[in-house]
Each structure stands twice: as structure tokens, then as C-alpha cells.
Amino acid sequence: MQPLSEQFELDTRAGKPAKDPSATIWRWLQYAMVALAFGFLYLPIVLLVILSFNESHSFGLPLKGFTLQWYREVLGNAAIMTSLKNSLILGCASAAISVALALTLALGFRANFPFKGLLLQTVLVPIVVPGVVGGVVLLLAFGYVGLPFGLFSTVLIAHVNWCLPFAFLTLYPRLHNFDKGIEEAARDLGASSATVFWRIILPIVRPGIIATLLFSFTLSFDEFVRTIFVIGSESTLPIRLWAIVTEQAQPFLPALGVLTMFITIFISLVGQAIAAKSATRNGSMKSQ
Amino acid sequence: MKSTAMYKSEYSSSERAAPASSPSAPMVCVDGVNKWFGQDQVLRNISVEIKDGEFFSLLGPSGCGKTTLMRIIAGFEFPTEGTILIDQRSVVDVPASRRPTNMVFQHFALFPHMSIEKNIAFGLEMKRVPRSTIATKVKEALALVRLEKFSGRKIDELSGGQKQRVAIARALVNEPKVLLLDEPLGALDLQLRLQMQGELARIQRATGSTFIFVTHDQAEAMTMSDRIAVMDRGEILQVGTPRDIYERPTHRFVAEFIGHSNFFEGVVCAGASINEYCPVSYDGVELVGRGAVPLEVGTKVAVMVRYENLQLLAAPENGRLVGNVTNKIFTGPTVRTDVLLANGKTVTSEQPVSSDAVNLGVGQAVGIHWTAANAVVLNS
């Protein structure tokens, strides 16, 4: 070992100019900042995971022992399971509708028309509207129209309203950057506009569509602020979680939080993996 | 433009004439096409006829309108004015998907999510050709472009040259009346380009289809085409065989764009009609060349002499002009010599290394000579 480390020392001295102590300090400072940022981001989550396995009946520290009891209670709680089912179904429906609308919109935006840039920005405005304001606006609108509260009326509309701009934002670049030559080649070979869409455009942007579906699902699955304004008597998982927190601080809350988080993170990761794969594919298309 | 059409018959040589099966009717007839993009006129009164089975090139610098003209023939753009006939039928109202043309795109535009065979079969599937027929035709098309061994490969596993072959097969398998090629070799490296030039010529002979080839590469157009239309700023300046265009350019632009020439700017001494010898006063000396256009006395013109037609004589008194050698470059097969004239103009001669020109030394006084038949008088 000794000769090896000596060799190493020798090499570094031979290969680099004399060491600058301030550079070393600076580098360690950077490491420390990164560590601090990660701690700031993940300490609460780590704490939540630890608490979810804590045997204590009072929700919080100190740690008493390891248990899976709280997970069993969450999975055995009928109200929570109903909310979860509602959220899953709602997420799928919102994702499907948002992506279909976003795709239509993105196809429309491939053409050139007056005020295109302005309209493009307009589509994205709902993203920056504060959630509370968005909720109030929806509540007023539904009241005005007289739409009864319900998961598949008011809540679904609210969720599509929330997901659509994001879905458009992720789909638009893929269609906008689509090589027009490929489309023209298909037309040149006798394809109608519908055939060009189904056999050329759709298969090529399919990974992007799937990624957008999953992304929209997580947006809907996590939505709380707008939902609480228009939910009525039913409940989604975030609404149920909120109710549990405010009504009776239950010891299984951390476990419920971990489970909810797990679903969202898992779907996001799958979506990102698909998006990354389709991005490299688009890259290779360009390099032709 | 109109005048061009008139002159071309004077010079047309039949050496590379197309193997026209029906010499009477043209395969493609472009008649009086104008095209505006907003305020910009990109095509100006384009009229040209392309024969059946001809390898026809649209040659010009970028922005000359050659690609727009091709896209109008393909149906991707529409003429602001004028008509297009393909096989004697007007196609102005026919969408690209139903025209008897197919196109090979500059960047290939292959379908990245399909195999080679699926790419080639696409056009036939659109025409609802029976499956068994499609399989046979795809096989034939693969053989035509010599890609049999690559069947089943994915598109992104192919090299640039192989992709190009797939693009050609995908278009040709539909047996189009006219194959349009939009700078198809532009994306390939030099070696591959030369090889594909030969391949394209072979494929064209094998299929006998009409090829319209867009390029900015004059050498490419010269070696491959039966006839060439030289374009500049939205106009067709001259249509002719490669030899017509090289030996008898009708415009100075054409002369400068193709090959290397010396231009002597002077004034017409006596009027001449096309192809007649025309005396031109240049710096007090009378030069003679053949008129590319009808010329009137007093017109400012340029006498064009190709580098290789400019001979240098060791005895200065025998030349039309006199000068001193300033530079000599050995290019391999030729020696290129610059000569400075008394009036400050430098002219260039390019002669085979086997000629006497190789013995001339820098600083030596030389006579400059050319055969009058090899000089062309152009409007300057």
C-alpha cells in the first residue's frame, strides 16, 4: 500500500503545478454547500419515512421501535382506499382528456396564423395563475353554470383545466420540431392527411405522448388547491389526507404520506425515462 | 427567358440527346410560372419542357429558385401564375399525394420508425397494391439500389449513402413518371457522392424514367445530365446540353458559373447575328468571337475565352495580345499560367502538362492566342 500511495503523490505533483490551498478550501466549501442543499431537500422526506415505521402511538418523535402497523392501517382503511381509487381513476381520465386536447392544440399550432406567438402564451397563462385564485374562479364559474359538484363533473373539469397547459407545453416542441420533410415524403408517396397522422406523426411522437400522459396523471393525482374548492361531498387522496390532518392527527399519517409520495415518484420516473428515450430518438432523427 | 428558348435550337447538339420514346410530347411542361412569397418574387416567368426519359438538371446557386420550382412540380408549393403539365395533364389542382411524381429529399426524410422494407413499401401500400406484389417489388427495388444484403435493418443503422439508396428505392418503387431529386447527394461526402453519381446515372438508364435533378454543383450537373437549365434569381437563363452550356453560354452568369473563363470587356465593331463572328474592340485591338446573342454596333460586350482555350506563344509577336508570365501552377494534369497584360489585366491559361506552356518561365514575354471559334461574345 505504502509504495502505491507514494507513487500517487509523486504523480500528482509531477502532473500539476504547486497546490493552491485556497482552491482546496473553495472546493470543500462547494461540497459542503451541495450537502447542505441535499439535506434541506431530503431531510423532511427521510424523517417522514422513519416516522412511518415508528411504533409510537403519538404521531412524532421520539422513536420507539419498528412496525408495519401503520401501513396495514392505511391499506385497511376503507375511506382512504375509496379516495385512492377516486384519485387513480380521476388521474387517468384527466391525463387522457388533457393529452388528447393538447395534441389537437399542438397540431393546430404547427400552422402559421396571425397572433400565433400571443395565443401560444395565452395557452400557458393558467400555469402561473395562483391555485387559490384558480379554485375560486372555477367555483364561481360552476356556480354560474349550475353544474352540480362531483368527481366526474366539476373536479374532472378542474383537473383538465390544470393539466392541459402542462401537457401542451411538453407536447408542442415535439410536434413543432417534427421534420416536415418526413411528412412531405409520406404525402408524396400518396398518404392522405389522416394517414400521415396515424402512420407517421403519431408513431414517431408516441413516446412523448406516453410521457405526457404520465406527467399529467401525476399533476392530477397531486392536485389539492383547486380540487378543494369544487370537490363537494366526495374525496380524492390529497383531500382525504388534508381531512385526516385537520380532523384527527392519526399516527398512520406518515405511512399514508410515504405511500402517496411513492406512487407519484414512481410514475414521474417512468415518464422521465420514456421522455429521455424519445429525446435521443429525436436527436438521431435530426442528425440525419 | 424567351430569347433563350430561341437560341438553344441553334446550338443544340444531339450527342447526349435523351432516349425519348415519344419525341413529340414533353413529359413535363412548365408554362409561364411565376411564384411570389409575400413581397419576394422567387420564380420569374419560368417556361421549360422536359422530355420523357430525360435526365434534366436545374442548376443554380442557392436562392435561385430551383428548389421552389421542383417543389411546385411535386405539388408542395403552388404557382402564383402559370401551369404545370405532366404527361399532358394539368396537375396544378392535383395534390402532391396524387401526382405521378415521387421525390428524393435532400435529407432523405426516411421514416425513422419503420424498417427499410416498410419505408420502401409505404407508397405501394398507399396505392393498395396486393401484399404479394408489394413484397416482390420491394425486393426488386432493393436490388436496383444494391441493398439486398441490408434488408431488415433499421433506418438508424444505415450510413448516409445507404439511407440515400433507401430514399431512391422508396421513390422509384412506385414507378413514377417523373422522379424529382432535391440535391440528393448534398449530404454525402465527396467519395460517396462520386459513387452515387454513377449509381444514379445507372438507375436512370435501368428504369428509363424522367429524372429532374436539382443541384448547385455544376460538375455534378455536367456529368449526369442530358440537359441542364441554368437558373439565377428566379429565372432560367439557358437550357441546353452540358456541351451547349459549356461551349456556348448565352449569358455571362452562365459562363462564370460553369467552368473557368477569361473575359475581355470591349465594344462591338460591327453587328453580328447569333453564332456569327463578331469583331470586338478591346483596348485598341480587334478581337473576334462568335456572338452568343444578336449584337449591334457599339454594344458593350465581353469576349469569353475558357482557360484551356487560351494559348500562350513563346513568340509574343504571333499573339492577339501580349503579356508577361507572372505565375505558374502545376495542378497535376495541367499547368495553369497567369499572364499580366500591358493594361494591367491578368489572364489565365490552363494547358496540358504535355504542351509547350510548361516550358514558359515567370517574367517571360508571351503572345496570347485563341481560335476565334472558341471565343464567345456575350453581353457584359
Average pLDDT over all residues of chain B:
88
Nearest to B102 among A188, A203, A285 (CB): A188
Mean pLDDT of B282-306: 90
Would the pTM of this model clear 0.90, i.e. be above it? no
Q: In Å, how far from its chain's centre is CA B243?
A: 11
- Segment A115-140, tens digit of pLDDT: 888 888 888 888 888 889 989 998 99
- Segment A176-221, tens digit of pLDDT: 888 889 999 999 999 999 999 999 999 999 888 998 999 999 999 9
Rounded to a whole number, what is the distance in Å from the CA of B230 to chain A's nearest CA? Answer: 26
B-chain residues near A184 (CB < 8 A): 76, 96, 103, 105, 109
Mean pLDDT of B32-46: 92
Nearest CA in chain B to A183: B109
Euclidean distance between the first and final Cα of chain B, in Å? 17
pLDDT exceeds cutoff 90 at B308: yes
Domain spanning A71-287: CATH 1.20.1250.20:
no
B122 at the A interface (CB within 8 A)? yes
Coil, strand or helix at B260: coil
Show me where the domains of chain A are located.
Answer: 4-52, 71-287
CA torsion B44-B291-B50-B229 (nearest 10°) is: -60
Contact flag A186-B122 (C-beta cutoff 8 Å) = yes
Task: Please give the Cα distance from B227 to B221 (Å, whole number).
Answer: 9
How far is CA A266 from each of CA A47, A99, A206, B304, rounded to the nearest angstrom?
20, 20, 20, 75
- Segment B188-237, tens digit of pLDDT: 788 888 888 888 888 888 888 899 999 999 989 998 999 999 999 999 99
pLDDT exceeds cutoff 60 at A284: no
Of the ranges B2-6, B198-202, B250-254, the best mean pLDDT one: B250-254
Backbone angles phi and psi of B347, in degrees to 5: -115, 160
pLDDT exceeds cutoff 70 at A152: yes
B322 at the A interface (CB within 8 A)? no
Residue among A82, A165, A85 at smallest CA distance from A126? A165
Rounded to a whole number, what is the distance in Å from the CA of A194 to chain B's nearest CA? Answer: 12
Rounded to a whole number, what is the distance in Å from the CA of B26 to chain A's nearest CA? Answer: 22
pLDDT-derived band at A18, boundaries 50, 70, 90: low
Residues 6+ apart with CB under 8 A from A73: A252, A255
Q: Mark out chain A residues that contact chain B at CB-CB < 8 A.
A: 179, 181-182, 184-192, 195, 200, 203-204, 281, 284-285, 288
pLDDT exceeds cutoff 50 at B37: yes
- Segment A45-77, tens digit of pLDDT: 898 888 888 877 766 667 777 888 888 888 888
Nearest CA in chain B to A282: B112
Rounded to a whole number, what is the distance in Å from the CA of B118 to chain A's nearest CA? Answer: 11
